[in-house]
A and B are shown apart, each in its own frame.
Chain A
Amino acid sequence: GAVVSQHPSRVICKSGTSVKIECRSLDFQATTMFWYRQFPKQSLMLMATSNEGSKATYEQGVEKDKFLINHASLTLSTLTVTSAHPEDSSFYICSARVVEGGQPQHFGDGTRLSIL
């Protein structure tokens, strides 16, 4: 079945550091990828929609200058958390959608980001 790989799985870094998270679709092309954030005991919250070859679409309340998204190819999207602070600590999850309509999204295994 469709596989989405997310890297790294865990990051621990100091406040002020910028962190890049990669999301790859391993066996299919994904014109659209999505980035979510999940806090403990809460549901996933959609942050942005990443479109190959164009600018990402951010959900209301998500700072585009804080969370930089690049979707340079049909198999790779990256999320960069710039100048991360402790409140950015969270579980970040990406998903990818197969080009053909009606196909379900497939999710990566998430990245646990901890800012000290």
Chain B
Amino acid sequence: LAKTTQPISMDSYEGQEVNITCSHNNIATNDYITWYQQFPSQGPRFIIQGYKTKVTNEVASLFIPADRKSSTLSLPRVSLSDTAVYYCLSPEYNQGGKLIFGQGTELSVKP
């Protein structure tokens, strides 16, 4: 079973900031939180990874509170091309780092 849960779908409009929250009540002390983006008929693409507090790169920010029971992916000023499925994951490092995918969040960006 996936260690994370997230909303099945979200709608947004171009130019808005989108925040997708992921719950992971039972992650282990040394687990990272990793987010991927997937377009239809393509493999998932790595977006961002973090352990605690805030991580920012050129495409997104990741906020992880001190209790690490949840995390929020923030996409600034989304465009139509950000319409995709977003997955929140935590690698199983005691099993070779495998990823167990949940349903993901289907983000639809409208003009």
Contacts and interface: CB of A to CB of B under 8 A. Distances in A.
Q: How large is the interface on B (under 10, 10 to 19, 20 to 34, 35 or more residues)?
A: 20 to 34
Interface string B84-111: 0001000101011111111110000000
B101 A104 contact: no
Interface string A80-112: 000000000001011101000110111111101
A61 to B, nearest CB: 14
Chain A contact residues: over half helix, strand or loop, or mixed? strand
Given A91-B41, A93-B43, A107-B44, A46 B99 contact: yes
Interface of B: 32, 34, 36, 41-46, 49, 87, 91, 93, 95-104
Contact of B43 (A43, A49, A97, A108): A108
Contact of A45 (B34, B42, B87, B101): B101
A44 interface: yes
Given A32-B96, A94-B43, 5 more contacts: A36-B101, A43-B102, A95-B99, A106-B46, A107-B43
Contact of A46 (B46, B93, B100): B100
A105 B87 CA distance: 13
Given A51-B96, A95-B99, A104 B46 contact: yes
Nearest to A40: B40
